[in-house]
A and B are shown apart, each in its own frame.
Chain A
Amino acid sequence: MHLPHLLSLLIWLPMLGAIAVLAFGRQANTARWLALATTVATFLLSIPLWMDYLPAIPGMQFVEKLAWIPALNANYALGVDGIAIALIVLTTFTSVLVILGAWGPIEERVSQYMAAMLALEGLLVGVFAATDALLFYVFFEGMLIPMFILIGIWGGPRRVYATLKFFIYTFLGSIFMLVGLIYLHVKTGEFSLDAFAHASLGAKEQAWLFFAFLIAFAIKVPMWPVHTWLPDAHVEAPTGGSVILAAIMLKVGGYGFVRFSLPITPDASQEYAWVVIAMSLIAVVYIGYVALVQEDMKKLVAYSSIAHMGFVTLGIFVALALVRVNANPVGARLAIQGAMVQMISHGFVSGAMFSCIGVMYDRLHTRMIKDYGGIVNVMPWFAAFMVLFAMANCGLPGTSGFVGEFMVILAAFQDSPLIAAVAAFTLIIGAAYTLWLVKRVVFGEVGNDKVAKMKDLDAREWIVLGAFAAGVLAVGVYPKPLTDLMEPAVQQLVQQLSLAKT
């Protein structure tokens, strides 16, 4: 029915591409074309994943399993459900655009940049495809390395501080997860996520494990108050790095909650859901206000990412209260669906916003809002895209940004109208910081002579922004294919959650 070892192919093809780019890419253009060909091929190969996925069959599909470290009973085990497929396709889609986006702007060490991007793509697919905890951990940590290199070499002036902060922050979090995984391994004798999910764990064990996972994934998402690495990393990262970071890497955190926290420690997750919900709501309000006063466009969008990711964690943990306290499984499914749609949507929207900033940065080499103004006069097409993505960032219906937030707010209301009210505050504050940015950057008289000389989008930039726009509108106008894809996995998860472990 489909290619054998499709998942392995999706992981290793970009890795091999990375090696090939390093080996043959001495000429910048060779490196670019080779990288583009690799990502396009990977993207095309990932489409059958969606097409051939059988929603009627529960559990993981496209399963692969090889003994990896027999002494530890760790396996090279892969498999995906609807949630993972959506994220993998998002990864392969975004990777193509990132390579295209780096075509002109990256002139130094082109082959190495492209290779790092390709390696990152493979590792990210691996994270979403791994069903073995140790394998997941290797991919999870492994993806730090190319990102570390991307920021450290092609980054801005404070790149050393930013890379160290990024690396140590996230590495610190994953150490706790490793300890948790080792504990689970000792307990079950395996590393399979399925075995972990079925392990019987006492309340105290679950609590320790829950917080170990929480630290790891909360930093990754990132959630308030462990978010401060993200604005610094974004500001210093090259455009492509920012796009991948915001569009895909943050999603690993949300994915982790769904794959680890909820199935392995459901009782502790329920008990401490209020902690995560509170952190998510603070993210929406507090971070919204912080985003309002940013002077650097990238920082503004970085903070806005944190606020939007708050809806992901909110949806995931509101679902627990809904299914367990209120006996409302449909509401719980709505909440998790909302969180997952928000992840995909945020992938498009944040990727597009950072690409837009990249387009401007390539022309004026500044990210400061005050250096721009009246761009619409000289770059009308760009302005149209920017306003579209800004509207998606405000959650306007018809764009993808609306769907997830809408679902999460509807579901949260069923748990507590007050939680929904605080979350819905994003309608106001999100519009405030986004539209104020648009007002200062896009509208008005031409800001200065440099702006007056800016050229509108070239064909390559057009393709990148156009592709993001297509994604934003497709999910916004017709989200059903996406929710249908994820529905069986969500349903299964909610069913699993309804059963206590202790």
Chain B
Amino acid sequence: MLSKTILLVIVLAPLFGALVAGLLRNQVGRKGAAGVTIAGVLLSCALSFHVLYQLVWGGATTFNENLYTWFQVGSFGAHVGFLVDRLTAMMMVVVTFVSLMVHVYTIGYMADDDGFQRFFSYIALFTFSMLMLVMSNNFLQLFFGWEAVGLVSYLLIGFWFKRPSAIFANMKAFLVNRVGDFGFLLGIAGVLFWFGSLDYSQVFGATASDVALTRTVEIFAGHPWHVATIVCVCLFVGAMGKSAQVPLHVWLPDSMEGPTPISALIHAATMVTAGIFMVARMSPLFELSETALSFVLVIGATTALFTGLIGIVQNDIKRVVAYSTLSQLGYMTVALGVSAYAGGVYHLMTHAFFKALLFLGAGSVIVAMHHEQDMRYMGGLRKYMPITWITMWLGSLALAGAPGFAGFFSKDAIIEAVGESHRWGSGYAYFCVMAGVFVTALYSFRLLYKTFHGKERFVVDAHHHGHGHHDDHHDDHGHQEPGHLAHAPHESPWVITLPLVLLAIPSVVIGWFTVGPMLFGGWFGGAIRVSQEEGRDVLGEIGKEFHDPLHMVLHGFTQAPFWIAFAGFAVATWIWLFNPGVTERFKSALRPLYTMLNNKYWVDELYQAVFARGGIALGRGLWKGGDAGLIDGVAVNGSAALVDRVSATVRWLQSGYLYHYAFAMILGLIALLGGVWWVNHLAP
């Protein structure tokens, strides 16, 4: 039996830390802020492991209880409450563990920053919000967590609020997410209307009945749609915003303006996977709509391949990892689209470890390079920072899906599941995820080679003190001479390397322990529901072939994905390790392709022109034309002017001359008499 108190402590401990570090930042100081938030998250993390243990080995049953009623209108009650099953517990462990690593790492990374306490306050607040999201037992609280993580993401992307690029990026992130939320909120409204409640248990219970399956509604006359399709597509639009799926992916690369620890925590490991978690949680709903799942599948596949391609041409080390994140989120979404929810969530977990590792590793490099992020000025760093180098290799191997590493188990399962599926769009998706494997290997090893191997492309200039260690973070984009360092790069302090090592361990080994139960063993129990119709449960089909992880690894060596990844590795090695000069030749030979990728398919430009400038032009038109022109100009001031004119005319009559009045009197008398005569004699 899970204790409500423990669950409350898990959620509130980080919130307490956030409030203390944020509101009393001057009183508690740097050490106090770091101490209180780390203690809170450590407590959360330990208790989360305890909860997971209880659920898996301790015989505890699913916890589902309301904490308090948010409001009650008639029979409709909105609540705040927790639903903790294995899916939730897994998310709790991932969130609090990565968060803890990032907290520790931050001590080193943000050591010289003025906003030290504020940063700790934000990341602890984020942990609270994310826990509220994953532990929710209803759609309302889910939306609360959803928006709260969005808020913290907004605050953290704009953490260095003096940088114009940062405060543009955070606004962009919030607004693009709001486009997703627009769909999400309508989806929630649909859930309430058609399923009669916002509580998961009731909604998912209602889906068991045939009502949801057969009911259609005509939003536009003559086009009946299944309610399940409408609801699921709307909800997924929310996931597209948060999990940065095409075409709402544009905010994630820009979010790299934030400090690196939050890129690891929020924009790789946890927040961006909220959409994946949400769809997996809603699996009973999504299973009702083949159309919605095909939509999910196609969007995910497109994201997986086409954002990965952009990663190949990026020079900013963080942006490479960011595009890689987009692509991997696409893989997770593809898994959801073929009803392999467990596969999507499993990839979410392995990805959380190795992608957090890669981001934190990139951050370690950035610190060593005195906040230089451009890989064109790196190279040969392996001898300066061996721990970072090795852990980054391990993370990249996991990402590329080298057999035996964590990413192999999850990604291979997704690819096989897509191959197994017959859903509309699965052919396209299969091509995308296969091609994506090559792309993943290409950009991953390119990053490693350009950063750690080959010749040093920076100059250590001991006499040049302009870019000392205590460089203001706010100006780190403003290097006068890129590639000039005041002193040689060196390995980061232990608070940075320890999290790297602790994240590298699961990145390498976690697959061996977990793949059997979590992917094929029905580990999630009732949390994930897959229709048992013929050919729908693709993971179940694959599971029949699965014996143990070792066989899966050995089998992996004979399969296409491995050889495709190997080809990517080989090409990357040939180009960036041995023939770096050849890239220029490629660039000129494939000029149109390169230009397209380098401009990210011009999506940003398109949005900027249509939505940003278009919106402002429309607003100005409505303001000047509608408000000032028609309403005020014609109607309001027009009436005033009319009154003015009429009174001016009437005033002219009041001339003050006696003979005018007398004349008017005579005219009036004639008119009156004439009128009387007319009425008496001529009118019928």
Contacts and interface: CB of A to CB of B under 8 A. Distances in A.
A409 B182 CA distance: 11
Interface string B211-239: 00000010100000000001000000000
B623 A330 contact: no
Interface residues of A, number: 61
A402 B148 CA distance: 12
Contacts of A445: 162
B482 interface: no
B517 interface: no
Nearest to B160: A443
Contacts of A290: 619, 622-623, 626-627
Interface string A428-442: 110110011001001
A329 B626 contact: no
Given A290-B626, A432-B615, A413 B168 contact: no
Contacts of B627: 228, 290
A405 B161 CA distance: 30
Interface in A174-211: none
Contact of A444 (B76, B140, B161, B631): B161
B636 A391 contact: no
B186 A413 contact: yes
Given A165-B636, A286-B622, A290-B619, A376 B161 contact: yes
Interface string B141-159: 0011001100100110010
A119 B175 CA distance: 43
Contacts of B618: 289
B636 A427 contact: no
A463 B72 CA distance: 32
Interface string B46-90: 000000000000000000000011111111100000000000000
A428 B167 contact: no
Interface string B361-398: 00000000000000000000000000000000000000
A289 B615 contact: yes
B632 interface: yes
Contacts of A425: 182
B313 interface: no
A391 to B, nearest CB: 6
A437 to B, nearest CB: 10
B171 A330 contact: no
A444 B167 contact: yes
Interface string A302-334: 000000000000000000000000000110011
A287 B618 CA distance: 11
Interface stretch (A61-69, A129-137, A270-278, A480-488): A480-488
A311 to B, nearest CB: 13
A439 B171 contact: yes
B620 interface: yes
Given A165-B636, A431-B174, A293 B161 contact: no
B160 to A, nearest CB: 10
A366 interface: no
Interface in B152-200: 154-155, 158, 161-162, 164, 167-168, 171, 174-175, 178-179, 181-182, 185-186, 188-190, 192-193
A487 B73 contact: yes
A334 to B, nearest CB: 5
B616 interface: yes
Given A428-B182, A443-B161, A413 B68 contact: no
Nearest to A430: B178
Contact of B72 (A410, A436, A483): A483
Given A397-B144, A427-B181, A439-B171, A420 B189 contact: yes
Given A289-B615, A431-B175, A480 B72 contact: yes
A435 B189 contact: no
Given A417-B219, A443-B161, A334 B619 contact: no
Contacts of A165: 636
B500 to A, nearest CB: 32
Contacts of A402: 147
Given A417-B190, A480-B70, A377 B162 contact: yes
Interface in A410-465: 410, 412-414, 417-418, 420-421, 424-425, 427-429, 431-432, 435-436, 439, 442-445
B185 A424 contact: yes
A292 interface: yes
B171 A409 contact: no
A196 B77 CA distance: 34
Given A480-B72, A487-B73, A409 B174 contact: no
A409 B185 contact: yes
A479 B70 contact: yes
Contacts of A412: 189
B23 to A, nearest CB: 9
A368 B505 CA distance: 55
Given A290-B626, A443-B158, A479-B71, A330 B186 contact: no
Contact of A483 (B71, B75, B162, B171): B71
A225 B633 CA distance: 13
A85 to B, nearest CB: 17
Contact of A396 (B68, B70, B151): B151
A24 interface: no
A63 B554 CA distance: 84
A398 interface: yes
A329 B74 CA distance: 9
Contacts of B623: 289-290, 293-294
B71 A413 contact: no
Given A289-B618, A334-B76, A480-B69, A435 B171 contact: yes
Nearest to A168: B640
Contacts of A374: 161-162
B219 to A, nearest CB: 5
A246 to B, nearest CB: 18
A398 B148 contact: yes
B171 A292 contact: no
Contacts of A443: 158, 161-162, 167
Contacts of B72: 480, 483-484, 487
Nearest to B643: A168
Given A228-B627, A443-B161, 14 more contacts: A228-B636, A289-B618, A334-B74, A394-B178, A396-B151, A410-B192, A413-B192, A413-B193, A428-B178, A439-B171, A444-B162, A444-B164, A479-B70, A490-B73
9 contacts: A228-B627, A286-B626, A290-B622, A294-B623, A330-B74, A397-B144, A398-B144, A424-B185, A431-B175
Give 9 closest A-B pairs by Cβ, nearest first.
A413-B189, A289-B619, A330-B74, A293-B619, A397-B144, A292-B619, A443-B167, A443-B161, A483-B71
